[in-house]
């Protein structure tokens, strides 16, 4: 290994040239502090002054010290990595959740190992959990949008804590769940249309193979029921703009365009709005449309889309806290986080004429 020249430290001493990998002791010597102080800085402990913390961080930067996670785990008997298990879905929700989890874990000082599984889940899920366990992770978070995948997780076994992000799913003795309250989000979207005076509110649903599709439909039904309104038209899709576009064209042909629509995703709303617009049906003047997700660019739809915003960063933070609580044997509040309704221009107050009169 080439030599490393240790710069003049805060203790005034000029360091020698290191012909080895820098250690935490080198950082302590250069910064003029104890081994324990450096350790507290590395672990973001609060009992270190700002000046000392800055001095230690500068020493780390100067000599290129990198923390040895394996050694840390051996000394503390605590893993510094977690496993992330996904079905590999390219859809907005699962991808956004997975990316946010990796970012939050890294900021908390944890490395991540990510594995995607395929059908048949009964085989691939257990194999993936075994692989993650063998790598020495301290816990595992499973992003499980599909009901079939979740069933395989519930039936699997693992020696470390397993948390599953699955909207509306229940915990079991072996697997605890956490999620955003998507049913509440669907209620907010539907109630917004009710408050605008709409009584004929349809739902272009996501796939019922997904927890997300099920809870969003349930929220739509519940809001209508609470308002004393009968369920409107409900059609199950695959979350895609293409399906929604083709469905919208069919509704126009059959004269079944509703007064308002709660779409299970922003992509679904996008396809529907195009189909309506191409046929002279105006959004929101003739049909109000509300989406779900608040994807990037939804504020630049034509018209800008009223939608339900999911906070993936907040979801990742809370999910990590729940997992770390399980790893450390402490209780953590598992109350699902709440989404937010974002009102834009695709929804407006009901008029005397609905889109079906067009």
Global pTM value:
0.77
- Give the side-chain half-sphere CA count within 13 A for 153: 31
User: Which residue intervals of 135-265 are DSSP H helices?
Assistant: 147-155, 182-195, 211-226, 241-253
DSSP structure class, residue 210: B
Per-residue pLDDT of the chain (358 residues; tens, 9 = 90+): 445 555 554 444 444 455 567 877 888 888 898 877 887 887 677 788 989 989 988 888 888 776 655 445 444 445 678 999 998 878 888 888 889 999 988 888 888 999 999 999 999 999 999 999 988 898 999 999 899 999 999 999 998 999 999 998 988 888 999 999 999 999 999 999 999 999 999 999 999 999 999 999 999 999 999 999 998 999 999 999 999 999 999 999 999 999 999 999 999 999 999 999 999 999 999 999 999 999 999 999 999 999 999 988 899 999 989 998 888 888 888 889 899 999 999 999 998 454 444 3
DSSP structure class, residue 205: E
How many secondary structure helices (H) and strands (E) does the chain include?
12, 13
Residue 331 neighbours by CB under 8 Å, 6+ apart: 325
Dist CA 110 CA 138 (whole Å): 10
| Count of other CB atoms within 10 angstroms of residue 296 | 10
Three-class DSSP category at 288: strand
Dist CA 194 CA 349 (whole Å): 9
Are the C-beta atoms of 147 and 171 separated by less than 8 Å?
A: no
Residue 54 neighbours by CB under 8 Å, 6+ apart: none
Phi, psi values for residue 2, rounded to 5°: -70, 155
E strands, 34-191, in order? 81-86, 111-116, 140-143, 162-165, 175-178
DSSP structure class, residue 48: S
């Amino acid at each position: 290994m080439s030599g490393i020249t240790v710069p003049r430290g805060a203790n005034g001493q000029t360091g020698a040239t290191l012909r080895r990998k820098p250690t935490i002791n080198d950082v302590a010597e250069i910064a003029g502090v104890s081994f324990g102080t450096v350790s507290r800085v590395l672990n973001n402990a609060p009992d270190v002054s700002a000046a000392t913390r800055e001095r230690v961080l500068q020493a780390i930067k100067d000599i290129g010290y990198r923390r040895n996670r394996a050694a840390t785990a051996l000394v503390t008997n605590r893993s510094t990595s977690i496993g992330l298990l996904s079905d590999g879905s390219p859809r907005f929700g699962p991808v956004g959740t997975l990316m946010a989890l990796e970012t939050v874990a890294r900021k908390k000082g944890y490395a991540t190992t990510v594995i995607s599984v395929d059908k048949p889940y009964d085989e691939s899920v257990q194999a993936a959990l075994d692989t993650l366990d063998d790598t020495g992770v301290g816990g595992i978070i499973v992003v499980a949008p599909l009901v079939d995948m979740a069933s395989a997780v519930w039936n699997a076994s693992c020696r470390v804590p397993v948390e599953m992000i699955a909207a509306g799913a229940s915990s079991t003795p072996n697997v605890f769940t956490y999620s955003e309250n998507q049913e509440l989000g669907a209620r907010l979207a539907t109630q917004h249309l009710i408050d605008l005076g709409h009584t004929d509110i349809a739902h272009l649903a996501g796939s019922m193979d997904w927890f997300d599709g099920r809870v969003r439909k349930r929220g739509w039904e519940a809001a209508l029921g609470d308002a004393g309104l009968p369920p409107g038209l409900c059609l199950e899709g695959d979350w895609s703009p293409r399906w929604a576009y083709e469905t919208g064209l069919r509704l126009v042909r059959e004269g079944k365009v509703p007064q308002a629509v709660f779409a299970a995703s922003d992509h679904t709303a996008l396809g529907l709005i195009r189909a309506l617009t191409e046929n002279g049906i105006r959004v929101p003047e003739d049909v109000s449309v509300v989406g779900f997700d608040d994807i990037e660019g939804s504020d630049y739809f034509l018209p800008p889309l009223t939608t339900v915003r999911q906070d993936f960063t907040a979801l990742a933070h809370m999910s990590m806290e729940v997992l770390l609580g399980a790893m450390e044997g402490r209780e953590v509040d598992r109350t699902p986080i709440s989404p937010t309704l974002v009102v834009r221009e695709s929804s407006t107050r009901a008029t005397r004429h609905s889109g079906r009169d067009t």
